[in-house]
Structure 1
Amino acid sequence: MNELISKYSSWFKLKCHIAWMLKLMSVLKQLSDLRKSLKGQEPKEIDEKMRHARQRRFKMNLSVSDLEEAEVSVVKFVQNQAFPDEIASLRDNSKGGSVKKRSPIYKLDPRYKDGVLRVGGRLSRSAMPECEKHQYILPKKSIVSEMIMREIHTQLHHGGRALTLSHLEESIGL
């Protein structure tokens, strides 16, 4: 995964590539399950049904949900590499489920939800959408963080540091 991430300079292209890989894995799993369910039938009948299923499943396009799933999987990977101790302590609720004070993300009041580290805090009581209240936590110095910053900066037509940061804060909740 690190090699794959380092090969791309664009966040969008990386997401598309990961989305296609996840879609392919899903299709192959479905075909494998179909083949298992067809056991005991005539080989000619199995081949016909499998051919028909392959034609249907491989004529697909990426959807927005596919790109979002790819985004989440990349974020999970980066977080697991950058914050393994924090994730382990937050996942283990029997010990209180908090990070150590010397952790670089301690001041963000991190929360672990759906396999992803998110910012905590008082905004949880607000009426804002969930993705804006609890944004993803990404390491400061990672290729993915740089890609996201670069993409937002380019989308804003090189608008400057303050504008880029304000749009980053809005969009990082995904």
Structure 2
Amino acid sequence: MVSRGCCPAKIGELTLWWKGPLWLHKEDADWPKKKNIYCQADEALLEARTVSHVLSTVKYDLSIVEKYSSLLKLLRVIALCRRFMHNASKKERLSGALQAGEIDKAESSIIRLVQASSFTSEIQDLCKSSQVSPKSVLLRLRPFLDKNNLIRVSGRLGNASTLNESQQHPIILPAKGVFTKLIFIYWHDNLMHGGQQAVLSAVRQKYWPLNGRNIARHVVHRCVKCFKYRPAVVKPIMGDLPEARVRPAQAFKKTGVDFAGPFIIKSSLRRNALLNKAYACLFFALLLKQGT
């Protein structure tokens, strides 16, 4: 009774609390049937319950992608997780070093997760009508879903038999995403810290990142090693020219001398001619810059 909102002061007056319902004092034959067992309204206290409605939205968890700063390490971790799931559900267990096929499947699973998080409405439209909405950012790329449910660019290279599927139809990646940035960082390091044009060209061999040029520029600009090996050159302010260079005078009245060497020269035109050291001495007029 207390759990149903009755205060302790009123418990002494409630016969239902002390003696129970009225049908308990009657014979067993007079007891109500099981289907009709209930208390009268004046004897029962209804329990007050709070009903809450919760509206939930599907949000893809990309925390595992944001945890690693290396693309290769991320792919290996995902591949090991997939191997664990495979060994736990099937009798044929996988062991040993990771194979190239496992790395490829891990990459495909990450790309599906990233695309599902960024292009949810586009994937729904492609599954229904094979076309995206006219308001979609992917409209000009004419995207489609491949056999692995990855969004690819249609393009005009479908008849190029010398190219593989990724070169004919690159995989679309969102502009704002950790995985997209990891791909650019990987190719920037793989190309010996190449420039933004080289990095973008290498990435587009397999992927088509939105706003890729700005991403490549950002990655190259934020690279610490590139910053260290490309320091800003300090150009000192040149001083005034000496008086002999600017005051009119006769030729060779003021002269200068440049001496350089040694230079290794051949003593003759023969192939096995002896090599000798030579020095150069230049005399020039300071005013006219004429030398002999």
TM class by smaller structure: 0.7 to 0.9
Partner of 2:137: 104
Distance in 1, matches of 2:110 and 2:78, equals 8
Query: 1:59 offset after TM fit, Å?
Result: 3.5
| Aligned with residue 123 of structure 1, among 157, 170, 183 | 157
Distance in 2, matches of 1:156 and 1:164, equals 7
Partner of 1:12: 72
3-state DSSP of counterpart to 1:148: helix
3-state DSSP of counterpart to 1:4: helix
Cα deviation, 1:92-151, whole Å, max 9, x if unaligned, reads 13xxx2111221111111011121100112211222222210111010110000000000
3-state DSSP of counterpart to 1:78: helix
Choose 1 or 2 for highest CA Rg. Answer: 2
**Residues 1-174 of structure 1: matches in 2 within 5 Å?**
1-31=61-91, 57=93, 59-93=95-129, 97-114=130-147, 115-127=149-161, 128-172=163-207
Query: 1:58 offset after TM fit, Å?
Result: 5.9
Q: Which structure has the highest strand share of the two?
A: 2
Q: TM-score, normalised by structure 2?
A: 0.48
Cα deviation, 1:69-105, whole Å, max 9, x if unaligned, reads 0000000000000001111111113xxx211122111
Change (3 A) 1:119 1:58: closer
> How many residues align structurally?
146
Higher relative contact order structure (alpha carbons within 8 Å, sequence separation ≥ 6): 1
Q: How large is the Cα RMSD of the aligned pairs? A: 1.5
Aligned AA (1:13): K
Distance in 2, matches of 1:81 and 1:157, equals 32
Distance in 2, matches of 1:118 and 1:59, equals 33
Once the two structures are overlaid, the 10-residue window that deviates more, 57-66 or 151-160, is 57-66
Runs of 4+ in 1 over 2 A off after TM superposition: 57-60
Distance in 2, matches of 1:165 and 1:119, equals 16
Question: Which stretches in structure 2 are left out of the alignment for 5+ residues?
Answer: 1-60, 209-292
Distance in 2, matches of 1:144 and 1:15, equals 11
